[in-house]
Amino acid sequence: MAPALVDYSPSAEQTYRFCQKKAYFGWLTRKKQGWRKPEKHPWRRAHELKQLKHRAAWAGDLYHQLVAHALRAAQAGRPIDQATLRELARQLSTAQFAFSASGAYRGATKSKVADYCGLPTFLALFDHAYGLPTDSLLEATQDRLDRWLANTFAWDGWPTLLRQVRRASAAHIEPEGLVYTLAGARLRARLDVGIEPGDGTFHFYDWKCYGDPERSAASGRGVRRQLLAYALWPVLRSVRPLALDRVTATVFNPVSGEEETVRFDDAGHAAFELEVGRWADLQPQLFSAITEVHFDDLQGPYDPARSCPHCPFKAVCGEEIAWHELT
Ligand code: SF4
């Protein structure tokens, strides 16, 4: 029998390289249904901590949610104008912030939390969970979001994209089900928007809300790998596969208002395939069963003094817990 496929995601691999303990918590919360455990059980606590968001990631998530909302509306023939979307951004961020501040995320099931205009209100902010000051956090996030949305509407590519989602033979907006296999691993193409005009090409968009241009540059190893993981979906899918040189990406940064066009080649594909294969071989040996993994033997980050204070898992990581004995 062929061995079971393991899941590969560029970010999971990055987390493992950064801190094995953090990767362990990620694995644990996928494997163990921590939310079914009593409040104080370490699995339940790890599950709740996994959901925490830093303020920068929250702003980025809001941006992605709002842009996807605007694109779905355009696709349905109900375009949203700039002022309406920016106002919605204020209202949604207010609703999410209030949800997080109330602590209602504890014990909540994300999918069952009420939405606001069809957008999620679930939020668990790192700052709220760890009792940090949040004065002006909401207002600062709203101002950032407002600028980013204004930059998006001012971007040359925005009207083109609105036209594409309406007219393309297929437009994938934050799709969930684009799955393919490569080198013994299963990958999900969680792209922001994918456009198939119907002429044998595939074009996708990725939003990068980093203030640091170096971080969001498509030449960076992490971004490059992530984009390639998306680009290979139309190439490796079983129906109407395309050649890789027919796939292009646009990376748009709403912080700077700049865009980059990215193309892919077979050499990049081959190197990525090797990397995914190595990960697929390694992963089953890393975290096999709860009883097999001795948490204290796992390596922490290179610089704990710098990294651990910002880590969502620090509350459970710093405690003496015999993780391998838990049931
Ligand atoms: S608190 Fe530090 S050691 Fe523990 S999981 Fe987080 S980054 Fe790793």
> Among the atoms of ligand 1, which is closest to the Cα of residue 304?
2
Mark whether 163 and 151 lie in a shared domain. no
Whether residues 102 and 197 fall in one domain? no
User: Do 234 and 165 share a structural domain?
Assistant: yes
* 262 within some domain: yes
* Average model confidence (pLDDT) across the chain: 92
Contact at 8 Å (CB) between 97 and 138?
A: yes
- CATH code, 170: 3.40.1350
Residue 246 lies in a domain: yes
Q: Are residues 122 and 214 in the same domain?
A: no
Residue 254 Cα to ligand 1 middle (Å): 31
Output the CA 269–ligand 1 centroid distance in Å: 32
Specify if 234 maps to a domain. Answer: yes
Whether residues 31 and 122 share a domain: the answer is yes
- How many domains, in total, are found in the chain? 2
Q: Does the residue 118 lie in any domain? A: yes
β partners of residue 181: 186
Pairwise CA distance, residues 235 & 324, whole Å: 41
User: Residue 111: how many CB atoms within 10 A of its CB?
Assistant: 7
- Paired tokens of 138: 């909401």
In this predicted model, which residue has the larger pLDDT, 280 or 66? 66
**What is the rounded distance in angstroms from the CA atom of residue 222 to the CA atom of residue 107?**
33
Taking a C-beta distance cutoff of 8 angstroms, is the pair 27, 43 a contact?
no
- Residues 149, 179, single domain; the answer is no
Cross-strand partners of 236? none
Domain of residue 146, residue span: 25-155+304-325
How confident is the model over 173-232, as pLDDT tens digits?
999 989 999 998 999 999 999 999 999 999 999 999 987 776 767 778 888 999 999 999
Question: Has residue 47 been placed in a domain?
Answer: yes
Q: Is 66 inside a domain boundary?
A: yes
- Helices 55-75, 157-167: inter-axial angle, 10-degree rounding: 50
Q: What pLDDT does 137 receive?
A: 97
Q: Do residues 165 and 132 share a domain?
A: no
Q: Are residues 117 and 171 in the same domain?
A: no
Q: Both 111 and 122 in a single domain?
A: yes
Kindly state whether residue 20 falls inside one of the protein's structural domains. no
Q: Is 8 exposed, middle or buried (0-12, 13-18, 19+ CB in 10 A)?
A: buried
**Residues 271 and 311 occupy one common structural domain:** no
Closest C-alpha to ligand 1, atom 5: 22
- Compute, in angstroms, the gap from residue 19 CA to the centroid of ligand 1: 7
Give the whole-angstrom CA distance, residue 257 versus residue 247: 23
Note whether residue 195 is domain-resident. yes
Q: Which residue has better confidence, 51 or 32?
A: 51
User: Three-class SS string for 137-203?
Assistant: HHHHHHHHHHHHHHHHHHCCHHHHHHHHHHHCCEEEECCCCCEEEECCEEEECCCCEEEECCCCCEE
Same-domain status, 191 and 235: yes
pLDDT at 148 exceeding the cut of 80: yes
The CA-based angle 268-241-205, given to 5 degrees, is: 60
> Do 199 and 258 belong together in one domain?
yes
Give the bridge partners for 248, in sequence order: 203, 263
In angstroms and rounded to an integer, the radius of gyration of the C-alpha atoms of the chain is 21
